[in-house]
Amino acid sequence: MPKLGLTADQLLSTTRSVRKRLDISRPVERAVIEECLNLALQAPNGGNRNLWRWIVVDDPAKVAAIGAQYKAMFDQPLSARSEPIPDNVERFDLVHDSVRALVEKIDHMPALLIPLMPGRAEGKTPMQQAVMWGSIVQAVWSFFLALRERGLGSAWTTVSLGREREIAEILGIPFESYTQVGLFPIAYTQGTDFKPAWREPLAEVLDYNGFTAR
Ligand SMILES: Cc1cc2nc3c(=O)[nH]c(=O)nc-3n(C[C@H](O)[C@H](O)[C@H](O)COP(=O)(O)O)c2cc1C
Protein backbone atom coordinates (compact mmCIF):
# COMPACT_ATOMS: atom_id res chain seq x y z
CA MET A 1 0.00 0.00 0.00
CA PRO A 2 1.40 3.46 -0.84
CA LYS A 3 2.29 5.51 2.20
CA LEU A 4 2.68 9.22 2.84
CA GLY A 5 6.06 8.92 4.51
CA LEU A 6 5.18 11.16 7.45
CA THR A 7 7.58 11.39 10.35
CA ALA A 8 6.34 9.99 13.63
CA ASP A 9 5.86 13.53 14.98
CA GLN A 10 3.94 14.63 11.88
CA LEU A 11 1.71 11.58 12.16
CA LEU A 12 1.03 12.23 15.83
CA SER A 13 0.30 15.92 15.37
CA THR A 14 -1.83 15.77 12.20
CA THR A 15 -4.08 12.76 12.65
CA ARG A 16 -7.40 14.58 12.85
CA SER A 17 -11.04 13.62 13.16
CA VAL A 18 -11.92 13.63 9.48
CA ARG A 19 -15.58 14.01 8.60
CA LYS A 20 -16.17 16.49 5.75
CA ARG A 21 -13.19 15.19 3.82
CA LEU A 22 -14.05 11.49 4.00
CA ASP A 23 -14.41 10.40 0.37
CA ILE A 24 -17.47 8.16 0.24
CA SER A 25 -17.17 7.71 -3.53
CA ARG A 26 -13.92 5.74 -3.31
CA PRO A 27 -14.04 2.10 -2.21
CA VAL A 28 -11.64 0.95 0.49
CA GLU A 29 -9.91 -2.38 -0.06
CA ARG A 30 -10.13 -4.93 2.73
CA ALA A 31 -6.37 -5.43 2.36
CA VAL A 32 -5.60 -1.86 3.49
CA ILE A 33 -7.98 -2.17 6.45
CA GLU A 34 -6.35 -5.43 7.47
CA GLU A 35 -2.89 -3.93 7.13
CA CYS A 36 -3.92 -1.14 9.50
CA LEU A 37 -5.56 -3.57 11.91
CA ASN A 38 -2.45 -5.73 11.98
CA LEU A 39 -0.50 -2.67 13.10
CA ALA A 40 -3.22 -1.82 15.61
CA LEU A 41 -2.97 -5.25 17.21
CA GLN A 42 0.58 -4.39 18.27
CA ALA A 43 -0.83 -1.98 20.89
CA PRO A 44 -0.59 -3.05 24.51
CA ASN A 45 -3.50 -4.88 26.08
CA GLY A 46 -4.02 -6.17 29.62
CA GLY A 47 -2.05 -9.37 30.22
CA ASN A 48 -1.66 -9.67 26.43
CA ARG A 49 -4.91 -11.63 26.56
CA ASN A 50 -6.09 -10.37 23.17
CA LEU A 51 -9.72 -10.45 24.24
CA TRP A 52 -10.68 -7.81 21.72
CA ARG A 53 -12.82 -8.40 18.66
CA TRP A 54 -12.91 -6.23 15.58
CA ILE A 55 -15.90 -5.94 13.27
CA VAL A 56 -15.45 -4.28 9.89
CA VAL A 57 -18.74 -3.54 8.20
CA ASP A 58 -18.45 -3.10 4.43
CA ASP A 59 -21.78 -4.54 3.31
CA PRO A 60 -23.59 -1.39 2.07
CA ALA A 61 -26.94 -2.57 3.48
CA LYS A 62 -25.43 -3.02 6.94
CA VAL A 63 -23.53 0.26 6.72
CA ALA A 64 -26.86 1.93 5.89
CA ALA A 65 -28.65 0.21 8.77
CA ILE A 66 -25.97 1.18 11.30
CA GLY A 67 -25.73 4.67 9.82
CA ALA A 68 -29.47 5.04 10.36
CA GLN A 69 -28.98 4.25 14.04
CA TYR A 70 -26.23 6.88 14.25
CA LYS A 71 -28.48 9.46 12.59
CA ALA A 72 -31.41 8.61 14.84
CA MET A 73 -29.26 8.95 17.95
CA PHE A 74 -27.74 12.17 16.73
CA ASP A 75 -31.10 13.73 16.05
CA GLN A 76 -32.10 13.42 19.68
CA PRO A 77 -31.81 16.64 21.73
CA LEU A 78 -28.21 17.36 22.70
CA SER A 79 -29.10 17.03 26.38
CA ALA A 80 -30.08 13.41 25.80
CA ARG A 81 -26.67 12.39 24.55
CA SER A 82 -23.87 14.56 25.86
CA GLU A 83 -22.72 17.50 27.91
CA PRO A 84 -23.59 21.18 27.31
CA ILE A 85 -21.89 23.03 24.45
CA PRO A 86 -18.62 24.51 25.79
CA ASP A 87 -17.92 28.21 25.36
CA ASN A 88 -14.13 28.02 25.65
CA VAL A 89 -13.35 25.70 22.75
CA GLU A 90 -11.77 27.41 19.78
CA ARG A 91 -13.63 26.94 16.48
CA PHE A 92 -16.38 24.87 18.14
CA ASP A 93 -18.84 26.04 15.47
CA LEU A 94 -16.64 24.47 12.80
CA VAL A 95 -16.45 21.25 14.79
CA HIS A 96 -20.23 21.25 14.92
CA ASP A 97 -20.49 21.70 11.11
CA SER A 98 -18.06 18.87 10.65
CA VAL A 99 -19.93 16.61 13.06
CA ARG A 100 -23.12 17.33 11.11
CA ALA A 101 -21.36 16.49 7.82
CA LEU A 102 -20.53 13.04 9.16
CA VAL A 103 -24.12 12.47 10.25
CA GLU A 104 -25.24 13.25 6.70
CA LYS A 105 -23.04 10.60 5.09
CA ILE A 106 -22.35 8.00 7.76
CA ASP A 107 -24.80 5.61 6.09
CA HIS A 108 -22.79 5.72 2.85
CA MET A 109 -19.32 5.04 4.21
CA PRO A 110 -17.17 2.52 2.33
CA ALA A 111 -16.63 0.79 5.68
CA LEU A 112 -17.19 1.12 9.40
CA LEU A 113 -15.13 -0.30 12.25
CA ILE A 114 -16.71 -1.41 15.52
CA PRO A 115 -14.15 -2.72 18.03
CA LEU A 116 -15.46 -4.83 20.89
CA MET A 117 -14.11 -5.34 24.37
CA PRO A 118 -15.11 -8.36 26.43
CA GLY A 119 -17.80 -8.06 29.09
CA ARG A 120 -19.98 -5.11 30.03
CA ALA A 121 -18.71 -1.88 31.56
CA GLU A 122 -21.89 -1.49 33.64
CA GLY A 123 -21.29 -2.16 37.33
CA LYS A 124 -17.51 -2.44 37.00
CA THR A 125 -15.13 -0.64 39.37
CA PRO A 126 -12.97 2.17 37.93
CA MET A 127 -9.99 -0.19 37.93
CA GLN A 128 -11.89 -2.89 36.07
CA GLN A 129 -13.13 -0.32 33.58
CA ALA A 130 -9.60 1.02 33.13
CA VAL A 131 -8.46 -2.45 32.12
CA MET A 132 -11.32 -2.78 29.65
CA TRP A 133 -10.86 0.58 27.94
CA GLY A 134 -7.10 0.60 28.28
CA SER A 135 -6.89 -2.75 26.54
CA ILE A 136 -8.39 -1.46 23.33
CA VAL A 137 -8.36 2.34 23.03
CA GLN A 138 -4.67 2.39 22.25
CA ALA A 139 -5.13 -0.15 19.47
CA VAL A 140 -7.94 1.88 17.96
CA TRP A 141 -5.76 4.98 17.96
CA SER A 142 -2.95 3.02 16.32
CA PHE A 143 -5.48 2.06 13.66
CA PHE A 144 -6.22 5.77 13.10
CA LEU A 145 -2.51 6.52 12.74
CA ALA A 146 -2.04 3.66 10.28
CA LEU A 147 -5.01 4.89 8.23
CA ARG A 148 -3.58 8.40 8.10
CA GLU A 149 -0.21 7.16 6.87
CA ARG A 150 -2.03 5.42 3.99
CA GLY A 151 -4.18 8.37 2.93
CA LEU A 152 -7.31 7.28 4.78
CA GLY A 153 -9.09 8.81 7.73
CA SER A 154 -11.66 8.28 10.43
CA ALA A 155 -13.31 10.12 13.30
CA TRP A 156 -13.67 8.87 16.85
CA THR A 157 -17.39 8.65 17.51
CA THR A 158 -19.33 7.53 20.55
CA VAL A 159 -22.83 8.77 19.74
CA SER A 160 -23.66 5.30 18.41
CA LEU A 161 -23.35 3.84 21.89
CA GLY A 162 -26.77 5.30 22.62
CA ARG A 163 -27.98 2.69 20.13
CA GLU A 164 -25.54 -0.04 21.10
CA ARG A 165 -28.20 -2.70 21.53
CA GLU A 166 -29.76 -2.01 18.13
CA ILE A 167 -26.35 -2.09 16.44
CA ALA A 168 -25.51 -5.34 18.25
CA GLU A 169 -28.69 -6.85 16.84
CA ILE A 170 -27.83 -5.78 13.28
CA LEU A 171 -24.42 -7.42 13.56
CA GLY A 172 -25.33 -10.41 15.73
CA ILE A 173 -23.06 -9.27 18.57
CA PRO A 174 -23.90 -10.97 21.91
CA PHE A 175 -24.77 -7.82 23.84
CA GLU A 176 -24.26 -9.29 27.31
CA SER A 177 -20.75 -10.51 26.42
CA TYR A 178 -19.23 -7.54 24.56
CA THR A 179 -19.17 -3.74 24.86
CA GLN A 180 -18.78 -1.64 21.72
CA VAL A 181 -15.96 0.91 21.90
CA GLY A 182 -17.49 3.28 19.35
CA LEU A 183 -18.21 3.58 15.67
CA PHE A 184 -15.37 4.52 13.35
CA PRO A 185 -15.93 5.42 9.70
CA ILE A 186 -13.24 4.31 7.28
CA ALA A 187 -12.63 6.15 3.98
CA TYR A 188 -9.91 7.68 1.88
CA THR A 189 -9.52 11.37 2.62
CA GLN A 190 -9.90 14.15 0.07
CA GLY A 191 -6.33 15.40 0.10
CA THR A 192 -3.83 14.33 2.72
CA ASP A 193 -2.76 17.68 4.13
CA PHE A 194 -3.93 17.98 7.74
CA LYS A 195 -2.68 20.37 10.39
CA PRO A 196 -2.16 20.35 14.13
CA ALA A 197 -5.35 21.38 15.95
CA TRP A 198 -6.05 23.84 18.76
CA ARG A 199 -5.65 22.43 22.24
CA GLU A 200 -5.70 24.08 25.64
CA PRO A 201 -2.05 25.13 26.08
CA LEU A 202 0.10 22.69 28.01
CA ALA A 203 0.81 25.29 30.69
CA GLU A 204 -2.92 25.35 31.50
CA VAL A 205 -3.15 21.64 32.09
CA LEU A 206 0.26 20.61 33.38
CA ASP A 207 1.39 20.44 37.00
CA TYR A 208 4.56 19.08 38.51
CA ASN A 209 4.60 17.22 41.79
CA GLY A 210 1.02 17.91 42.76
CA PHE A 211 -2.32 19.29 41.75
CA THR A 212 -2.78 23.04 41.33
CA ALA A 213 -6.32 24.37 41.69
CA ARG A 214 -7.17 26.61 38.70
C1 LIG B 1 -14.29 10.05 23.32
C2 LIG B 1 -14.60 10.83 22.06
C3 LIG B 1 -15.90 10.85 21.58
C4 LIG B 1 -16.21 11.52 20.39
N5 LIG B 1 -17.48 11.42 19.87
C6 LIG B 1 -17.73 11.95 18.66
C7 LIG B 1 -18.99 11.71 18.01
O8 LIG B 1 -19.86 10.98 18.52
N9 LIG B 1 -19.20 12.26 16.79
C10 LIG B 1 -18.22 13.01 16.16
O11 LIG B 1 -18.45 13.46 15.03
N12 LIG B 1 -17.02 13.25 16.75
C13 LIG B 1 -16.76 12.73 17.97
N14 LIG B 1 -15.50 12.89 18.53
C15 LIG B 1 -14.44 13.67 17.83
C16 LIG B 1 -14.12 15.00 18.55
O17 LIG B 1 -15.13 15.91 18.28
C18 LIG B 1 -12.76 15.50 18.04
O19 LIG B 1 -11.76 14.61 18.46
C20 LIG B 1 -12.41 16.89 18.57
O21 LIG B 1 -13.27 17.82 18.02
C22 LIG B 1 -10.97 17.30 18.23
O23 LIG B 1 -10.76 17.26 16.85
P24 LIG B 1 -9.53 16.45 16.24
O25 LIG B 1 -9.76 15.00 16.60
O26 LIG B 1 -9.58 16.67 14.75
O27 LIG B 1 -8.29 16.98 16.84
C28 LIG B 1 -15.19 12.22 19.70
C29 LIG B 1 -13.86 12.18 20.19
C30 LIG B 1 -13.56 11.47 21.31
C31 LIG B 1 -12.11 11.37 21.76
What's the gap in Å between 106 CA and the centre of ligand 1?
14
Over residues 19-31, the pLDDT tens digits come to: 999 999 999 999 9
pLDDT > 90 fraction of the chain, expressed in percent and rounded: 88
The amino acid at 135: S
The answer to whether the CB of 158 is under 6 A from ligand 1 is: yes
Note the pLDDT tens digit of each residue in 89-143.
666 677 888 999 999 999 999 999 999 999 999 999 999 999 999 999 999 999 9
How far is the centre of ligand 1, averaged over its atoms, from the C-alpha of 177 (Å)?
26
**How many whole angstroms separate alpha carbon 210 and alpha carbon 164?**
39
Give the fold, CATH level 3, of 8-190.
NADH Oxidase (3.40.109)
What pLDDT was estimated at residue 90? 66
Query: For the chain, which residues make up each domain, given as ranges?
Result: 8-190
- Cβ(82) – ligand 1 distance below 6 Å: no
Instruction: Tell me if 189 CB under 6 Å of ligand 1.
Output: no
State the distance from the centre of ligand 1 to the C-alpha of 95, rounded, in angstroms: 9
For residue 17 and ligand 1, the question of a CB distance below 6 A is answered with yes
Q: Is 197 in the pocket of ligand 1 (CB under 6 A)?
A: yes
CA distance 39 to 176: 28
Cα of 27 to ligand 1 centre, how many Å? 24
For residue 156 and ligand 1, the question of a CB distance below 6 A is answered with yes
pLDDT reading at 85 higher than 80: no
Instruction: State the Cα–Cα distance between residues 59 and 65, nearest whole angstrom.
Output: 10
Could you identify the atom of ligand 1 that is nearest to the CA of residue 183?
A: 8
Digit-coded pLDDT (tens) for 161-176: 999 999 999 999 999 9
103 in ligand 1 pocket by Cβ < 6 Å?
no
pLDDT at position 89 is 67
What pLDDT does residue 82 have?
A: 60
What distance in angstroms lies between residue 42's CA and the mean position of ligand 1's atoms?
23
Other CB atoms closer than 10 Å to residue 133's CB: what's the count? 13
Whose CA is closest to 183, among 114, 136, 120, 109? 114
Distance 90 CA to ligand 1 centre (A): 14
pLDDT at 49 over 70: yes
Work out the pLDDT band at 75, boundaries 50, 70, 90.
confident
Q: How much distance in Å is there from the Cα of 209 to the middle of ligand 1?
A: 30
Q: What is the DSSP string of 23-63?
A: ETTS---HHHHHHHHHHHTTS--GGG----EEEEE--HHHH
